[in-house]
Amino acid sequence: MSVYQASAEWAAQRDAADPLRSYRDQFLIPPHGDGQCLYFCGNSLGLQPRGVRQAIETELERWSTLAVEGHFKGEQPWMTYHEAVRDHLAELVGAEPSEVVAMNTLSVNLHLMMVSFYRPTAQRPAILIEEGAFPTDRYAVASQIRFHGFDPERDLIELKADEPNGTLSMSAIEQALTEHGSRVALVLLPGVQYRTGQVFDLPAITRLAHAQGCTVGFDLAHSVGNVKLALHDAQADFAVWCNYKYLNGGPGAVGGAFVHSRHAHSELPRFAGWWGHDKTTRFKMGPQFDATPGAEGWQLSNPPILALAPLRASLELFHRAGMDALRAKSEDLTGYLEWLVDDQLSHVLESLTPREPERRGVQLSLRVHGGRERGRALFDHLVEQGIIGDWREPDVIRISPTPLYNRYSDCFGFAQAVRAWAEQHPA
């Protein structure tokens, strides 16, 4: 017998017993009618923490009263402001503080990392990604291949899904590396695949790729703040991510990057900027670039303080809650949503996301039976009802119950709305 029940009373009881229930009050839930939205779109844009407004106003006040001296004075001088988010970011991704930095945006960081870590030769020119990768990754790697004088038609290798619903097995990844590894300069895969919600085994992929002589990088846009990570122990060469999804850093938030400590003093080529220069001699204004050891040495420009303030406020919540507790709730909350889909909605929806908890995060990618037109009609109806997920062509609705602010009651409300719509619109 299932531990779950399809009733509002059962969901409310689970919410009342949730040890993380108070964190929902730390977020601004968008209104809908006389109540609130059911918001399942943290995989695309996280909600605003209540502390963000004060965090930004604090820096505005410092700007108004200290002006340029705000770089050096006050509780958190701007010169070292990026360090105020460093430790909590390192905690979230399982890294040493010197291995992470908040800077730029994901696509910019991806290109900066490839300048250093994609070093193609005539014998080893290729990049390996998954088929159906998020467009920015494919655009970036194809452009880097062309920039180095190679041909994406030949040197961009795409892993084809070998499991039902478009997911990839480790055996398929191993087979591809066995077949193509001697030609591959860089393996670039996601931590969580954006369309299917599949979690990838980062340590295993890194071991396989390194054994073939490949450099390894990961796009963690859908991973950070969603699943537990151990980047240092996984031995990845680099990783990049955005901070506006599960980390609630706000639209267009500053991104993040990881560079393993074995590259801390690397002489790999890079695009250099003044802010990446060794901080102990930066203001001597010398003509020769001397990189700050670690990930901070890849910085180009001084950090945007007003953009970092929201991320700092959100990371404090993650630090207090802890990823162990968040992950435990996530597995159960997403498990409840999956059970509701199976038990109540199987005539309407089918989950494409792996069923094993260790192979998924909070997201379920739900294919709507009946094709695109029917799927889009359901999605639009849900939005009108204040139930916010997101749509992926041609027929997938992504629903992501985020443990910091979503409830069992939200999942039940989603299921009720889908079932009511289906009764009015039979296939």
pLDDT (tens digit per residue) in 369-379: 999 999 999 99
Can you say whether the dihedral through the CA atoms of 175, 178, 183, 186 is positive or negative?
positive
Q: What pLDDT is recorded for position 8?
A: 98
Q: What is d(CA 120, CA 146) in angstroms, rounded to the nearest whole number?
A: 11
DSSP states of 259-283: E-GGGTT--------GGGB-TTTGG
The packing angle between helices 372-384 and 408-424, to 10°, is 120
Closest by CA position to 343, among listed 415, 396, 235: 415
Q: What is d(CA 267, CA 393) in angstroms, rounded to the nearest whole number?
A: 43
Q: Return mean pLDDT, the chain.
A: 97
Q: What is d(CA 372, CA 393) in angstroms, rounded to the nearest whole number?
A: 8
Residue 26, CA distances (Å) to 50, 65, 85, 223, 252 in order: 5, 29, 19, 22, 21
Q: What pLDDT is recorded for position 271?
A: 97
Q: What is d(CA 257, CA 329) in angstroms, rounded to the nearest whole number?
A: 27
- Alpha-carbon 201 to chain mean position: 15
* % of the chain surpassing 70 pLDDT: 100
Residue 354 has pLDDT above 80, yes or no: yes
Residue 308 has pLDDT above 90, yes or no: yes
Q: Mean of the pLDDT values across residues 151-172? A: 97
* % of the chain surpassing 90 pLDDT: 98
Q: How confident is the model at residue 53 (pLDDT cuts 50, 70, 90)?
A: very high
Residues 6+ apart with CB under 8 A from 14: 336, 408
Q: How confident is the model at residue 1 (pLDDT cuts 50, 70, 90)?
A: low
Residues 6+ apart with CB under 8 A from 335: 4, 357
Q: What is d(CA 248, CA 55) in angstroms, rounded to the nearest whole number?
A: 14
Rounded (10°) CA dihedral 101, 251, 221, 376:
180
Q: What pLDDT is recorded for position 54?
A: 98
At 15-35, the pLDDT tens digits run: 999 999 999 999 999 999 999
The packing angle between helices 202-211 and 170-180, to 10°, is 20
Question: Which residues pair with residue 37 across a beta bridge?
Answer: none
Q: How confident is the model at residue 2 (pLDDT cuts 50, 70, 90)?
A: confident
Q: Which domains does the chain have, with CATH numbers?
A: 8-36+322-424 (3.90.1150.10), 56-319 (3.40.640.10)
Question: Which residues pair with residue 387 across a beta bridge?
Answer: 38
Q: What is d(CA 269, CA 288) in angstroms, rounded to the nearest whole number?
A: 14
At 218-233, the pLDDT tens digits run: 999 999 999 999 999 9
Strands 256-259 and 215-219: unpaired
Closest by CA position to 222, among listed 204, 203, 205, 239: 239
Give the sheet arrangement for strand 126-130, strand by strand.
100-102, 256-259, 238-241, 215-219, 184-190, 126-130, 156-159
Question: Which residues pair with residue 248 across a beta bridge?
Answer: none
Identify whether the C-beta of residue 211 lies closer than 8 Å to the C-beta of residue 235: no
Identify whether the C-beta of residue 319 lies closer than 8 Å to the C-beta of residue 119: no
Q: What is d(CA 200, CA 218) in angstroms, rounded to the nearest whole number?
A: 10
Q: What is d(CA 37, CA 315) in angstroms, rounded to the nearest whole number?
A: 24
